Chains A and B, each alone.
Chain A
């Protein structure tokens, strides 16, 4: 290696970032900075906290507007249906493993959030055709999302009944869809029409139950965790 001159620590370094100009401040578009925050213009402490619940705040955050009462009610029902995720799902399983390994509470929460975000992304990818149909409905919903067995139909019926009990008009097709498809229809009809909004709403709904399941795991109780579920068979490739 050829010799190089020693570094001079007093030398004023220059590079592309010294030459270019950039803004001097961050831009806030949703929450005002400081001790009296406003959310999309609404006074959080003096107004929203007195009149609205967390479902409304979620909707406001994601859409920029407060939901009318019937939308708020439908959203509350859909998010409640979405809330439980069992440990059979990778998102909760991962968070539980994090807890088992003894990591911090914040890292367990972060892992749950990553898992749930991935789960929601996959769900939305799998329902891309339904979302396209909802944006431009023509004819019946795509066949692939129709409920095909009694359990699926029963879940759709429970959703329909919950919405009707809350005094909401439910499109006929919703009850004939599989559970996830029906729930996405409700969220979409509520005004969460963009994939980012849907993904955020689903993760927000599920994080508490996923995290709660993880917290029930006993730290470093490795003997009681089914390490061989599934069992990995090692095969050497030639």
Chain B
């Protein structure tokens, strides 16, 4: 007996004969030649096309986010995998690392959640005492505020650059961005921590109507170029040092050399001493 056909619904795409559909748009007639890569990414994640000025904000964000030193942990990971010579596995490893990681796009998603929570709590008020109380309550509950803190430097230079773009585009007076600025004053006072680009970009994307989950996904897209840089350059390198570091660059801090119970039993049966084991260094 033939089982019933299984089906699911999709709002994303359909393959036609001469024209394809993508989130309610005809690919060739409406998107080809008129939609940018950033716009397509936004469409893929939110299911809607963004107006050109908002796509411009995404381009600004991607450029301002470009902190791509290969020594930075997620990018280093990409290069470590790229040392075997294949670009795509390296790229995938870099992207996979982002899943719930404390740094990278996941931090933007978490920052967006914080912002939504405090924005809701403030209910439109930016009165400093009320903001301070909301932030204080959040810190009491979570001991940490996502989107704040600038490791190894006093301020996040990416935020400085991004804010000037936001101001140039006149987006600094939107509700979530204003909440973020008010929160920054409170966190600075309570935790001596400066905002980073995570909370500012989260605010901007929330002001565009994205949900926190969509913020996380879109930031993955906006940061992809850096992973490409290291996957491509790393994979093209002639036998990278990273493929196997010389042993002297590894310090062993594990268990001391020891004999297994079965080996000890064998030695005892052969009348050998079981106390002599080679050390790990030998």
Q: A: which residues have CB within 8 A of B? A: 15-17, 19-20, 24-34, 36, 38, 40-43, 47-48, 50-52, 64, 66, 104, 106-107, 110, 114, 228-237
| Contact for B9 among A38, A41, A48, A233, CB less than 8 A | A233
20 residue pairs bridging A and B, Cβ less than 8 Å apart: A16-B153, A17-B69, A25-B251, A27-B253, A28-B252, A28-B254, A31-B254, A32-B252, A32-B254, A40-B255, A41-B255, A42-B260, A47-B259, A52-B260, A110-B92, A230-B8, A231-B8, A232-B8, A234-B11, A234-B13
Across the interface, name the chain B residue whose C-beta is closest to A24: B249
Q: How far is the CA of A235 from the CA of B14 in the complex (A)?
A: 9
Across the interface, name the chain A residue whose C-beta is closest to B244: A33
Interface pair A25/B249, CB less than 8 Å apart? yes
Please give, as numbers and ranges, the residues of chain A lying within 8 Å of B260 by CB-CB distance: 42, 47-48, 51-52, 66
B71 at the A interface (CB under 8 A):
yes
Please give, as numbers and ranges, the residues of chain A lying within 8 Å of B255 by CB-CB distance: 40-41, 64
| Contact for A19 among B47, B152, B248, CB less than 8 A | B152
Known: A16-B153, A234-B12. 9 other contacts (CB 8 A): A17-B152, A43-B277, A43-B278, A47-B259, A47-B260, A230-B7, A233-B10, A234-B14, A236-B11
B241 at the A interface (CB under 8 A):
no
Min CB distance A235 to B, Å, is 5
Please give, as numbers and ranges, the residues of chain B lying within 8 Å of A231 by CB-CB distance: 5-8
B266 at the A interface (CB under 8 A):
yes
Please give, as numbers and ranges, the residues of chain B lying within 8 Å of A114 by CB-CB distance: 96
Interface pair A26/B69, CB less than 8 Å apart? no
Please give, as numbers and ranges, the residues of chain B lying within 8 Å of A41 by CB-CB distance: 254-258, 280
Min CB distance A137 to B, Å, is 29
Q: How far is the CA of A29 from the CA of B253 in the complex (A)?
A: 5
The verdict on A235 contacting B10 (CB below 8 Å), with A16-B153, A42-B260, A114-B96 known, is yes
Q: How far is the CA of A234 from the CA of B266 in the complex (A)?
A: 68
Interface pair B250/A110, CB less than 8 Å apart? no
B269 at the A interface (CB under 8 A):
no
Count how many pairs of residues, one from A and one from B, have CB atoms less than 8 Å apart in the complex: 112
Across the interface, name the chain B residue whose C-beta is closest to A234: B14
Q: How far is the CA of A31 from the CA of B250 in the complex (A)?
A: 10
Interface pair A17/B7, CB less than 8 Å apart? no
Q: How far is the CA of A27 from the CA of B245 in the complex (A)?
A: 12
B262 at the A interface (CB under 8 A):
yes
Please give, as numbers and ranges, the residues of chain A lying within 8 Å of B12 by CB-CB distance: 234
Q: How far is the CA of A38 from the CA of B281 in the complex (A)?
A: 10
B37 at the A interface (CB under 8 A):
no
B88 at the A interface (CB under 8 A):
yes
Q: How far is the CA of A33 from the CA of B10 in the complex (A)?
A: 50
Q: Which of B233-271 contact A (CB under 8 A)?
A: 245, 247-263, 266
Across the interface, name the chain A residue whose C-beta is closest to B282: A36
Q: How far is the CA of A161 from the CA of B245 in the complex (A)?
A: 49
The verdict on A43 contacting B257 (CB below 8 Å), with A28-B251, A236-B11 known, is yes
Q: How far is the CA of A232 from the CA of B69 in the complex (A)?
A: 42
Please give, as numbers and ranges, the residues of chain B lying within 8 Å of A48 by CB-CB distance: 260
